[in-house]
A and B are shown apart, each in its own frame.
Chain A
Amino acid sequence: MNVAVCVKQIPDPAEVGSLNPETKTLNRDSKPILDESDSYGVEMALQLVEAAGGGKVTLVSMAPNQETAGLRTALAMGADDAILVSDDALAGSDALSTAKVLAAAIARAEPDLVLAATESSDGYTGTVPEQIAAVMGLPSVTFAKSIEVGDGTVAVKRQTESGFDSVNCPTPCLVSVTAGVVEPRYPSFKGIMAAKSKPVDEVTLADLSIDPATVGTAGGGQEIIEIEQAEAREAGEKVVDEGDAHERIIAFLEELKVL
């Protein structure tokens, strides 16, 4: 079974983010890392291919530059190869443009199953996986807690507001996986060394027959008109526990008449 996994290389969330006031896009000066949310999809793909007894895991990603640092992390975990769509025209792409580009790249891998995280840690729109499925005309199951592969189908437990739904879906299809459902493996030293020589197929929009005017800032259908500082919340009292902090909390709750 062949699985394509969507992964995103994002600025390190530990660093404070900023927007470029001119282009109104995210400043991406520092070296990007693999979005931690995506490590669950990669791990899930590796486990499913292992359980199926064969096949391969292909990463699919896009970036306005040729960055591959984040992809190498996922290749080191065990993914077989990667398709990276790199094109200057991609800068400023919204979720729909991103989905169109990724869908065209995924189609090249002809996967049985497409996996993605539910949302990226930086943009967090949470719509891209379902948009990819729609562009490709595939059925989809979003917000999966677990996936079992059957003969030409997947059985998915899908998160709901009140519990979960058991959903069966024929392949090829797309499934987005919630964080924490599998434990992503750490790349081994051997894996890190092997990742350096694994194939990363760099493609442009032209290779995918996508008109640059339909993606990026040009193709957005939306425009950022204002960026403003949000109202900050004031810090209150800070006390060091001397063994009686619980009394201080109770007094605070009594003041609020919660107790």
Chain B
Amino acid sequence: MGISSIWVYGEVVEGELSTLTTEMLAKARDLSDSVDVVLGSATTDAINQSAGAHGAGTVHATGDLGSGLQGVHVAAAIAAAIDAGVGPDALLAGTTYDGRDVAARLSVALDAPVISNVVDLEVDGDALVGTEPVFGGTTNVKTKFTGGKAQIALVRPKSFAAEETGGGPAAAADLATADVGAAGAAEVIDRFVEESDGPKLDEAGFVVAGGRGLGDAEKFSMVEEMAGLVGGAAGASRAIVDAGWVPYSSQVGQTGKVVKPDVYLALGISGATQHLVGMKGSKHIIAINKDEEAPIFGVADLGIVGDVHSVMPKLIEALKARG
């Protein structure tokens, strides 16, 4: 009984395992005695050290995938390992761009389901049970795997606390890639890094987010200026992402990023359930909105019923005066 082996799909940011990868490793250790990392690139000493320090035994690395996309190639390599009897019982991947691709491709290769948007995991017998928030996080649904060659779960960021075990470096193992035929024909021609000042949205201690109440796209500069003043990151509601004011990568909510900063300042955001699920885990929430009935006030520790266009310039000026 139990889960004999779990692989965590590792994502690498600036040469290090991503925070989400280490969060998943911490939970995987609770669920199984054998936890490894699977990587769609070559591994490095730094990655092996970090993986080991977070409790992984081995890093299975495909080597450089060149111009290939992660999803199709990593999934094929994992599926081949499972078919050869050397793969895991379960794969955890993050709810990220590449994580979703890997989980989706693997699910088809193995004809196994994916449990998505997981915020908690437990073991029941020899199956994983994933908890998934629905209806804006007001309801939790627990889903258990009942069959399939492997159990695949997509984990939402910030669901678990990363924790070092003091372990030595993980062993490095080569993971053979598999022929994917025409399905692998997409080629990455170039990679662009968009420079941004300050912390990343999902890692910032202070998040300032703007919504439709800002009035127009230009007013988003107010959100960015405030974020800059408090050393935080700027985020957005789905409404203004849909409207094309800011890119999808800035979106906080069910279909965007999950944030849990110390302080979340919501500017002109009504608080649709879609948004609340992405931010209501914040430690402290401040909301400014003209509509005193706005649902955002239901989760705010400090709610200001007022116009962001009159409150924010004064707040920004006062913060600047403090230096």
Question: What residues of chain A have their CB less than 8 Å away from a CB belonging to chain B?
Answer: 13, 16-19, 24, 36-37, 94-96, 99, 118-119, 121, 124-131, 133-135, 137-143, 145, 155, 158-170, 173, 178-181, 183, 220-230, 232-233, 235-241, 243, 245-250, 252-253, 256, 258-259
A138-B103 contact given A19-B134, A96-B108, A241-B306, CB 8 Å threshold: no
By a CB distance below 8 angstroms, the chain A residues around B104 are: 95, 99, 127-131, 134
Tier of interface size on chain B: 35 or more
Determine whether the beta carbon of A225 is less than 8 Å from that of B142.
yes
Determine whether the beta carbon of A241 is less than 8 Å from that of B190.
no
Determine whether the beta carbon of B100 is less than 8 Å from that of A130.
yes
Q: Separation in Å of the B70 CB from the closest CB of chain A?
A: 10
By a CB distance below 8 angstroms, the chain B residues around A145 are: 247-248
Question: What residues of chain B have their CB less than 8 Å away from a CB belonging to chain A?
Answer: 11, 13, 18, 69, 71-72, 75, 95-97, 100-101, 103-105, 107-109, 111-117, 124, 129, 133-135, 137-148, 154, 181-194, 206, 230, 238, 241-245, 247-249, 254-255, 262-263, 265, 272-274, 280, 284, 286, 288, 292, 297-307, 310-312, 314-315, 318-319, 322
Q: Separation in Å of the A173 CB from the closest CB of chain B?
A: 7
Determine whether the beta carbon of A139 is less than 8 Å from that of B117.
no
A230-B138 contact given A159-B97, A180-B247, CB 8 Å threshold: yes
By a CB distance below 8 angstroms, the chain A residues around B311 are: 241, 245-246, 249
Determine whether the beta carbon of A139 is less than 8 Å from that of B262.
no
Chain A residue, CB-CB nearest to B313: A246
Chain A residue, CB-CB nearest to B130: A222
Q: Separation in Å of the B227 CB from the closest CB of chain A?
A: 13
Determine whether the beta carbon of B187 is less than 8 Å from that of A168.
yes
Determine whether the beta carbon of B148 is less than 8 Å from that of A164.
no
Q: Secondary structure of the A side of the interface?
A: mixed
Determine whether the beta carbon of A222 is less than 8 Å from that of B143.
yes
Cα–Cα, bound, A220→B114 (Å):
10
Partner of B146, one of A18, A221, A236: A221
A237-B97 contact given A121-B255, A229-B138, CB 8 Å threshold: no
Determine whether the beta carbon of A179 is less than 8 Å from that of B314.
no
Closest 8 interchain pairs by CB?
Answer: A241-B306, A130-B104, A134-B108, A236-B301, A246-B315, A238-B303, A127-B104, A125-B116
By a CB distance below 8 angstroms, the chain B residues around A248 are: 302, 304
| A–B Cβ pairs within 8 angstroms, 19 of them | A19-B134, A95-B116, A118-B255, A134-B75, A140-B186, A141-B186, A145-B248, A158-B97, A169-B185, A169-B186, A180-B248, A222-B113, A228-B139, A235-B298, A238-B292, A240-B306, A253-B263, A256-B284, A259-B319
Partner of A258, one of B105, B145, B247, B262: B262
Determine whether the beta carbon of A225 is less than 8 Å from that of B114.
no
Determine whether the beta carbon of B263 is less than 8 Å from that of A236.
no
Q: Separation in Å of the B143 CB from the closest CB of chain A?
A: 5
Cα–Cα, bound, A36→B239 (Å):
11
